[in-house]
Homo-oligomer: A and B are copies of this chain.
C-alpha cells in the first residue's frame, strides 16, 4: 500500500490563521542536561492541516474526543478543480461526481490553493463552496469534507455559514490539506486521526491518503 502525506509541516515560521499565533518550540529537556531531547511545544488547536470539530463553532456541540476513531478513516474522493479558477464552488462543479460522492466517507476539494501556502496570498480570495453546494453535500453520508485552503468560509465571513452547514450535522471539516497534486487517482482511502485531546474543538492532524 502506498502512503501519500497530505499534511503541511508544522514549524515556528508556518502560516497561521489571522489573529491566532504560530507555534512556539522550546527546549524541554536536552541530551546534555537530562540525557534526552524533548521539546515543549505550544500551538493553537487549529494549526496547520487540522480538523474542525462541531464544537469549534456551535456551543454544546460535539468535540473530537466524542467521535469514535472510526470516524476519521474511510473511503475518499477528490473533486479536482485545480485547473479551473473558481472563487465560489457551486453544485454544478460537484454534480458530475455525484455517483463517486455517494460511495465515500470523505470528500476532498482540490482547489489548487495550497500552492500559495507560505505566501500572503494564501489568506485572501481563496475558493469556497457556495452555501447551496454545502447544503447539497449534506444529502450524502459524508463523515468529513476537506479543502486545501485556510478555511471553509471566506475571509470576510463573520458567521461561518459553510462551516455551520457541515458541523451542525457532525460532518467534520479538514482544512489546509496539502499535496493533493501528488494523488495519481481521485479515489483512495483517507485518514485524519486527531490527537486524543480532551474537549477537542479541533486538532492538528497528519492527513494521509492510502493507495
Contacts and interface: CB of A to CB of B under 8 A. Distances in A.
Please tell me how many copies of the chain the complex holds: 2
A210 to B, nearest CB: 8
Contacts of A117: none
A85 interface: no
Contacts of A59: 31
Nearest to A4: B69
Given A37-B201, A45-B38, A196 B10 contact: yes
A145 to B, nearest CB: 17
Nearest to A34: B19
B3 A70 contact: yes
A8 B38 contact: no
Count class of interface residues, chain A: 35 or more
B56 A38 contact: yes
B65 A9 contact: yes
A197 B35 CA distance: 21
Contacts of A12: 198
Given A11-B198, A195-B10, A41 B38 contact: no
A57 B37 contact: yes
A108 B63 CA distance: 30
Contacts of A44: 28-29, 38-41
A149 interface: no
Contact of A69 (B3, B68, B195, B204): B3
A29 B38 contact: no
A15 to B, nearest CB: 14
Contacts of A191: 191, 193, 208
Given A19-B29, A45-B38, A160-B35, A196 B9 contact: yes
20 contacts: A1-B73, A8-B196, A9-B197, A11-B198, A20-B38, A25-B198, A28-B44, A35-B57, A35-B159, A36-B56, A37-B56, A37-B57, A38-B44, A38-B201, A40-B44, A41-B43, A41-B44, A73-B210, A191-B191, A193-B193
